[in-house]
Amino acid sequence: MKRLAGCLTLAATTLALVPVGLGFETVAAQPPQPAASPPDKNPTAVGYGGAVSSVDPYATQIGLEVLRKGGNATDAAVATAAALGVTEAYSAGIGGGGFFVHYNARTGRVQTIDGRETAPAAMEHDAFIDPATGAPYRFTPELVTSGVSVGVPGTPATWEWALDRWGSMSLGKVLRPAEKLARQGFVVDQTFRQQTLDNKVRFDAFTSTRELFLPGGDAPQVGATFRNPDLADTYDLIADRGVDAFYGGRLAREIVATVQNPPKTDTTTLPVPPGSLTTRDLAQYDVVDRAPTKVSYRGLDVYGMAPPSSGGSTVGESLNILERFDLAAMDEVDVLHHYLEAGSLAFADRGRYLGDPDFVDVPLRDLLADRFAAERACLIDPVTAATKPVAAGDVTAYDGECGEAPAAGERDLDTENISTTNLTVADRWGNVVEYTLTIEQTGGSGIVVPGRGFLLNNELTDFSTVYNPADPNRIEPLKRPRSSMAPTIVLKDGKPFLALGSPGGSTIITTVLQMLVNRLELGMTLPEAIAAPRTSPRNTARVTSEPEFMTLYDALLRPRGHDLVPAGDQFTSASEIGAATAIEFGPHGQLIAVAEPRRRGGGAAMVVCAVDLRRCR
């Protein structure tokens, strides 16, 4: 019988394997039942024995069930991520990539996996130039809605490698709950409907995407059940055959065909430039083990993601600069002034030096050196903001002493989108995962692989649009575009103290940094630090800020030279910055798991036990 993608599946009454819990049982196939009501969205949970925080209650619950069934943090993180590929399909999924940060309680080490997408081997330097005009494609909606923007996905390989290194369950086992969720469906909320409507023109450009996400020509209604049986089948395929079934064979050929010849509708007016991805690109993809970034901040060790992410280095450099000041002796407005200035200085250096270290010489040690930070800190006036953009520092000549300020800099043109998703997991043994994953634009490239139920990324738009040989983020074949993802783990005396991260494009960096400043310098609790209104210093003349932040601080910061403007990106009218998750580790094994209370519809945090673990057994 015909499958109505995105709506319902008419099932024959035959015997079928259906997921039950984390396993399978053979039962008579039945017509899909109404989706279970979503779990409660509690933004804060305090307890013991393990915790999960994500933007979505279905995903958080699935991760928690893995922990309750004996899985560890890595098992739960992959299961949560797979569930987010169902319910947060416009932000993440197997068509994208990300960065995975892991703390191993047995060894005390923080290690990371770079699962960033790569450019195809045949990627041209002028790939983002319209051959008809000789000018760059308009970034939106033309360039982001294309095959040429699709990088080789890294998420499936990340899941497999993380489980091989640190997991206790197989990939097949941890994928089963998400497969079941995709098949049974979830209840549509306002965020899902609005994101679909925001992308209606793009989604309507492709037959496969329109069929899945715009059944009947409209976005799914709030309260309706949204099912994705094609994605369930794809998860089933990977669960049974491993990620080789994604990077090779029929599915790989279908991905390549979709990129090289996007399934355009007859009515779209978008140009949809095709890409150059090949089956060889997919077959040769591999994740990379990267040493994490590390800085010491007031006795804490702060670990982050190294290049090609700029998150760890820019957060780390900002903290190094701030450490030069006695923030504890300042009032709140003075602290915020220093946060804004330090963030802008670090962003100047990000634009000048950061790229894929396999292609450009990234002076990471210099950028994170205390002497370099001391010299950059000299440029912060205690009262007045510097004129933006400020210039990058010189990593070839610094001595930590104050000297003449460099000339004004150039703005780093940033094309990263505000989408993406983040999750935080801890288990009963003390292992921790901080994982940020994405398909870039909200809705990625807009292209669903026909019959497979997942969107392809548009991650290559994170490269600079116009090729410049001196630009560390220039387009190169097989290169990974610069990212701002900043999954962060903070240790105190060698043990976890905080784990946190956020989506938000380049505002990820400032969101993580501001949460750290809120928690460590302004005396906020973790829930307060996440809920507090945000501003995003990125070395621009005007500082993107949430309306609530402007209400509280505009009159106090504007006289100092900070020109605050309301947040709102080029794709939606969203006025929010970030959608963070975090866990704080208290005494005697206590966990404080926190998600956003309202941003992006609010997140969900859950703990294994609300009381002492010994009383839960």
Catalytic residues: 420
Q: How far apart are the C-alpha atoms of 151 and 407, rounded to whole Å? A: 37
461 with 110: CB under 8 angstroms?
A: no
H or E stretch covering 585? strand 581-585
299, 495 in Cβ contact below 8 A?
A: no
Distance CA 473, CA 352 (A): 9
What residues have CB less than 8 Å from 176, skipping those under 6 apart?
19, 22, 23, 24, 239
Nearest to 100 by CA among 246, 339, 304, 264: 304
Q: What letter represents residue 558's amino acid?
A: R
279 within 8 A of 252, measured Cβ to Cβ: yes
**If 0-12 CB within 10 Å is exposed, 13-18 middle and 19+ buried, where does residue 40 land?**
exposed
* The pair of three-digit structure tokens given for residue 390, joined into one six-digit string: 């400020």
| Residue 11 burial class via C-beta count within 10 angstroms: exposed 0-12, middle 13-18, buried 19 and up | middle
321 CB-near residues (< 8 Å, 6+ apart): 342, 345, 346, 373, 376, 377, 380
CA distance 534 to 557: 14
427: which strand partners?
50
Q: Which residue has the tokens 């139920």?
A: 453
d(Cα 443, Cα 205) in Å, to the nearest integer?
13
3-state secondary structure 484-506: CCCCEEEEECCEEEEEEECCCCC
| Interatomic CA distance for residues 60 and 426, integer angstroms | 12
> Residues with Cβ < 8 Å from 157, sequence gap 6 or more?
115, 243, 247, 285, 286, 287
d(CA 535, CA 555): 14
Per DSSP, 142 falls in state I
524: Cβ–Cβ under 8 A, 6 or more apart, which residues? 518, 532
Vertex 453 angle, CA 478 and 308, to 5°: 25
Measure the CA–CA gap between 321 and 386, rounded to whole angstroms.
15
Secondary structure E strands in 97-178: 97-104, 109-115
Q: Which two tokens stand for residue 519?
A: 């928690």
Cis-peptide, bond into residue 389, ω within 30° of zero: yes
Q: DSSP letter for 278, please.
A: -
In the sheet that 542-545 helps form, which strands lie side by side, from edge to edge? 535-536, 542-545, 563-566
Contacting residues for 523 by C-beta, under 8 A, at least 6 apart = none
Q: How far apart are CA 118 and CA 460, in angstroms?
A: 8
Say how many residues make up the chain: 617
How far apart CA 250 and CA 241 sit, in angstroms, is 12
Q: Where are the beta strands (DSSP E) in 86-156?
A: 97-104, 109-115
